[in-house]
Amino acid sequence: MTDTPMTPDQPAPVELTEQQLESLIDAGNRALNDHYHESQCHCDDWPASCVSSGHYFMGAWDTNAFAIGLPAVLSVWETLRNDRHAAKVSELRADNEALRARVAELEAAESRITAVELLVEEARDKCNHSVDTDLLLDALGLDN
């Protein structure tokens, strides 16, 4: 691929093989031919042939417009798509951060529960019917 200098507001060119671009151009021309046939005849023999007259055949409305315009159209489309992907990546990164923060909260809560369970076990081992409030607050991670 050659590096051609671009003006600032011109999007980067889409990287397509000649064959890929050709199939897109063919699809555009096929759609155009189908459209004009549909509006002028819409027989069941289309696209193999057309019953209305010899003037209508697949390719009758082929144009260079797709070959001329598609690279520019695809460049804009690619830019739009990249912008959308960049926005999605930012969104996913934010979600990821929020989830990591939530995991940290849940892990902290789990370790507080474990600390309280240990406190209760220790109290039972000593046949105590209550736990020290300061120790409980400490196990819960609360300031006392």
Residues that bind Zn ion (CB under 5 A): 41, 43, 46, 50, 52
Closer CB to Zn ion, residue 52 or residue 79?
52
Closer CB to Zn ion, residue 24 or residue 50?
50
The distance of closest approach from Cβ of residue 40 to Zn ion in the complex, given in angstroms and rounded to an integer, is 8
Residues 6+ apart with CB under 8 A from 80: none
The distance of closest approach from Cβ of residue 43 to Zn ion in the complex, given in angstroms and rounded to an integer, is 3
Residues 92, 78: Cα–Cα separation, whole Å: 21
The distance of closest approach from Cβ of residue 25 to Zn ion in the complex, given in angstroms and rounded to an integer, is 23
Closer CB to Zn ion, residue 34 or residue 78?
34
The distance of closest approach from Cβ of residue 27 to Zn ion in the complex, given in angstroms and rounded to an integer, is 20
Residues 74, 14: Cα–Cα separation, whole Å: 6
Residues 78, 11: Cα–Cα separation, whole Å: 8
Q: Is the dihedral of CA 17, 22, 25, 31 positive or negative?
A: negative
Closer CB to Zn ion, residue 25 or residue 50?
50
Query: Closest Cα partner for 136 from 144, 127, 128, 126?
Result: 144
